[in-house]
Amino acid sequence: MIEPLRKLESYEEYLKIKSVYWDVDKEEFVWLDTRLLPFEEVYRRTRDYNRVAKAIKTLEIRGAPAIGVSAAYGMALAARYSQAKTVEDLLKDLETAYNILKNTRPTAFNLFWALDRVMKKARETANSSTDPDKVRESVLTEAATIHLEDVESNIQIGRHGAKLIDNGDIILTHCNTGALATSGFGTALGIIRYAWYEGKKIKVITTETRPVLQGARLNVWELKKEGIPFTLITDGMPGIVFRNNMADMAIVGADRIILTGHTANKIGTYMVALAAHDNDKPFYVAAPTSTIQETWNPDDIVIEIRDPEEVRTILGRYRLTLEDVDVYNPSFDITPPRYITAIITEKGIAYQPFGKTIPKLLKR
């Protein structure tokens, strides 16, 4: 077995929920279909990178780090099952897979970061070897390394972030940032998990996270599994929750953070930040540094606009309104840095002014 996959086994105690992984024996990529949770736990598997792209697009796999790791394994499938006999032909097949995987979701920065990293590794190997199998092996090793690093980053984020949580705290979170959004532990929810493992008696308030209910479905499923007490609220309720002193802080994840600290995360995050700020409660963002795009321009953040049917219906099952209603369905919003108390990464915690502290953190 390749080294990063062997090393991943040593993190078993943190990986109670396996969201995405490489099946070493069958040489297949496997994932838990998050669309069906919390009602059904169905694992799916494939040897086809196009199927991985479809799973990302349709939110069977979602959450920025999980998307990045899965796309990297998609490249590993493309390499493993390509019929190419030369490194040149293999690189062409990998470029095709790269472009298909890249066009799945536009906001999650981890997607582009992971794909670029795997493609770079493939090119480097091709420059020093004429054996396509060497390139195949290097691609799988890089994907597994990205997977391993994601798990290690999550644990470090948990360790740093848990220091900000006191015994008895109540934490409000938005969208799912746990095992299901990463490769097995979580970022914002990983911090909550870590604090719980430390024995802190905490409680969680989770928004339902319209339109596809990552909070009501996925946080509920994960928090119940851990036995962490929680209360579910709708997305319009964080204001009264903070006003009534019912939560001590908010911790959320990120799909993309830039050097200024502007943070793109699930639609509604900005409103949570405003409610926390107006009631003097800390608002924390948790993410691995692979989520950080090295730009100073918030206009570089691409916001995904999704199918109007997600808003007109509940999960495509129950129609909420008339079929032809005009809908605006941005999947993410951008929280300005002035409302963010700190950004928690695997390399440590960045406080304001982020324009100085984030670049410093990236150099560590």
* Binding residues for ligand MRU (CB under 6 A): 62-65, 108, 175, 177, 181-182, 187, 214, 253-255, 265-266, 331
CB 48, min distance to ligand MRU, A: 22
- For residues 96 and 329, which CB has a smaller minimum distance to ligand MRU in the complex? 329
- For residues 222 and 255, which CB has a smaller minimum distance to ligand MRU in the complex? 255
Q: What is the DSSP letter of 12?
A: G
User: Is residue 205 helix, strand or coil?
Assistant: strand
Identify whether 255 is a catalytic site residue.
Answer: yes
- For residues 141 and 153, which CB has a smaller minimum distance to ligand MRU in the complex? 153
Taking CB atoms, the residue at the shortest distance from ligand MRU is: 253
Are 113 and 288 in contact by the 8 Å Cβ rule? The answer is no
Q: What is the DSSP letter of 178?
A: B
- Cα–Cα distance, 61 to 34 (Å, whole number): 6
Are 75 and 115 in contact by the 8 Å Cβ rule? The answer is yes
How does strand 342-345 pair with strand 283-286? parallel
CB 84, min distance to ligand MRU, A: 32
User: Is residue 78 helix, strand or coil?
Assistant: helix
Q: At what angle do helices 109-128 and 87-102 cross, to 10 degrees?
A: 180
- For residues 126 and 216, which CB has a smaller minimum distance to ligand MRU in the complex? 216
CB burial readout 184-220, b (16+ within 10 A) else e? bbbbbbbbbbbbbeeeeebbbbbbbbbbbbbbbbbbb
List, in sequence order, every beta strand (DSSP E) within 267-347: 283-286, 292-293, 313-314, 318-319, 332-335, 342-345
| Amino acid found at 252 | V
- For residues 79 and 350, which CB has a smaller minimum distance to ligand MRU in the complex? 350
CB 286, min distance to ligand MRU, A: 8
* Sign of the torsion angle spanned by Cα atoms 19, 209, 158, 256: positive
Are 216 and 208 in contact by the 8 Å Cβ rule? The answer is yes
> What separation in angstroms does the CA of 205 have from each of 115, 209, 233, 254, 352?
34, 12, 7, 18, 26
CB 187, min distance to ligand MRU, A: 4
CB 264, min distance to ligand MRU, A: 8
- For residues 91 and 111, which CB has a smaller minimum distance to ligand MRU in the complex? 111
- Active-site pick, 169, 248, 255, 326: 255
CB 134, min distance to ligand MRU, A: 33
Give catalytic residues, as residue numbers.
Answer: 255
